[in-house]
Structure 1
Amino acid sequence: MKRAPLRHGAGTAAGAARRAATPDFRPLYRQVKDALVRRIAEGRWTPDKAIPSEFELAADLGVSQGTVRKALDEMAGENLLVRYQGRGTFVAAHDEPRILFQFFKLTPDDGARVYPESRVLTAGEIKAPRATAAALALPAVSRVIRIRRLRSLAGKPAIVETILLPAARFARLTDAPIPNNLYQLYATRFGARIARAEERLKAVALSAADAGALGAKPGTPALLIDRVAFDLDGRAVEHRLSACLTDAAHYLSDLK
């Protein structure tokens, strides 16, 4: 298979050298997609500006428009891009309505999709817990930013979260007010765009601390969501533990 030149946005010089020495047998559109994802990861494309047209990208990368279109279609399907009729194609922002629920799955039993409101309980820097250091591939002595916040659905406390982030990467995050939409903050302020997450779900009994935050009794049944979120480079960015009350809500997973 003939490889695309991929002259721009193909990654670092070291990465380019490795690729030149190693045959790439993936479909050409996947190689193009990787080059375009790299542009987002490097901050060369931002949500506020339309990306180049298919014709321009094809000429830039030395491939056909059909190959570029297939790469863009896959990126749009993964919520990395969003197309607007008459305006063009943009990098998707985490605050757009159709993106908001990509990583938030707790849904009221009446079926209404409601994005939660948040109130920060505490925020500070601590030594990384062992489980977090492992989840984020950090040395055992690393420091992390720890945020505890309460999230409410329709005004009713439903989730208490513990969010842990590498302090070195998210330096001074707590110096400013912490917004409801953290993933948008990570992308715009720290250049860490969340691309995917791995979750483990488990039935638990609320600890005294979590129960107190939620206004429930210690030992109340709850759903614990243990999530590790990854950026476009595949690096673990965030470890999040969410204790959820499910007496009036459920976890919705749309399997396709």
Structure 2
Amino acid sequence: MTWMTGMPGATTVDDGGAKRHNVGAMQRAAAAIFAPIVAGARATPLYRQVKSALLRAIESGQCQAGAALPSEAALAAALGVSIGTLRHATDDLVAEHILVRRQGRGTFVAVHNADRFMFQFFHVERSDGLRQAPRVELLAFERVRIEEEPALALGLKPGEPAIRIDNRLLLQGKAVIHDQLTLPATLFKGLTEKRLRERKSTIYHLYQTEFGITVTRAREHARAAIADRSLSRLLGVASGAPVLVVRRTALTFGDKPVEYRISTIDTARHEYVHLLSRPA
């Protein structure tokens, strides 16, 4: 039997003594990344300290997107905590879509893909409940000096270098959403129009795999507005028609802002639908 955890030094072959070797390899891999948590050293609950340790390892790239974590036993031993405490921490991270459990295979660092984008970050569906991934048309890609509104959202000063991206999103073959994204240029060095056009999956997958930036959640504000002439041309709506404007600040670990997005939605046949849930 061949088995791999996705962590350094944790591959074994055959059965017999291989199980003992595998356990030892996982323990060494975990110990190389995690240090024991000193109980009582901080007022923070122990499971939250474990959660912070896991987040630091993911953020630093020591536990990479798509990789399996060491076993619960190996992790608990490396961190010096009980398996129950470790599970409390990993349960939180699974609920936050940072980790994902796969039955019979273990716990993995979540990867941004189309399914996750649709579940966590895309909330527009047709009024009859039809939900589909949008087709994205890139309208513009340019390097700019950031304006006051996105600068405030991203914690930058007006005039700092930024990247601005304009997209039109089509649902069921009709233009429904205009997105304008602003990115801090310092976080996305090397991003070009070609790389953006040729990405293999969602834009958040591009951030994660090519720039080491994982969007963990987003803060949104929505308000009603009316379409101006520019939007009328982009979405094919009448000038003065009602639209919904959603301002989103995408956040990475530590709630650091990495993207500011203004989405303008034609609500004639589509709605903004968000499933609310109580924190775990």
Q: TM-score w.r.t. structure 2 length?
A: 0.81
Match in the other structure for 2:226: 205
Equivalent position SS for 2:121: coil
Match in the other structure for 1:100: 118
Kindly report the root-mean-square deviation, in angstroms, between the aligned alpha carbons of the 2 structures.
2.1
CA offset digits 1:148-188 (Å, max 9, x no partner): 00001121111000000001111221243424611111111
Match in the other structure for 1:65: 83
Match of 1:35 among 53, 68, 86: 53
Question: Which contiguous aligned blocks of 4+ residues in structure 1 show a shift greater than 6 angstroms?
Answer: none
Q: Quick one: which amino acid aligns to residue 212 of structure 1?
A: R
CA offset digits 1:63-110 (Å, max 9, x no partner): 111111111111111111111112211111120524532011111112
- Preserved CA contact (<8 Å) 1:227 1:239: yes
The answer to whether structure 1 residue 56 and structure 2 residue 78 are counterparts is no
The answer to whether structure 1 residue 219 and structure 2 residue 237 are counterparts is no
The answer to whether structure 1 residue 117 and structure 2 residue 138 are counterparts is no
Match in the other structure for 1:139: 157
Match in the other structure for 1:242: 263
Q: 1:26 to 1:234 in 2, by over 3 A?
A: same
CA distance in 2, matches of 1:176, 1:68: 43
CA offset digits 1:38-74 (Å, max 9, x no partner): 1111112223321111111101111111111111111
CA distance in 1, matches of 2:34, 2:213: 17
Match in the other structure for 1:155: 173
Q: Quick one: which amino acid aligns to residue 57 of structure 2?
A: R
CA distance in 1, matches of 2:125, 2:167: 18
Equivalent position SS for 2:49: helix
Identity %: 38
Match in the other structure for 1:89: 107
CA distance in 1, matches of 2:114, 2:137: 21
The alpha-carbon deviation at position 233 of structure 1 amounts to: 2.7
CA distance in 1, matches of 2:126, 2:203: 22
CA offset digits 1:189-244 (Å, max 9, x no partner): 11111111110001011122222111222222100000111111321100000000
Equivalent position SS for 2:143: strand
Report the more deviating stretch, 139-148 or 90-99: 90-99
Q: How many aligned residue pairs are there?
A: 242
The alpha-carbon deviation at position 134 of structure 1 amounts to: 0.7
The answer to whether structure 1 residue 170 and structure 2 residue 188 are counterparts is yes
Unaligned runs of 5+ in 1: 1-5, 11-18
- Preserved CA contact (<8 Å) 2:147 2:159: no
CA distance in 1, matches of 2:106, 2:114: 16
Unaligned runs of 5+ in 2: 1-30
Q: Quick one: which amino acid aligns to residue 174 of structure 2?
A: K
- Preserved CA contact (<8 Å) 2:141 2:193: no
* Greater Rg over alpha carbons, structure: 2
Match in the other structure for 1:15: none
Q: Quick one: which amino acid aligns to residue 238 of structure 1?
A: E
Equivalent position SS for 1:194: coil
Q: TM-score w.r.t. structure 1 length?
A: 0.88
CA distance in 2, matches of 1:61, 1:133: 39
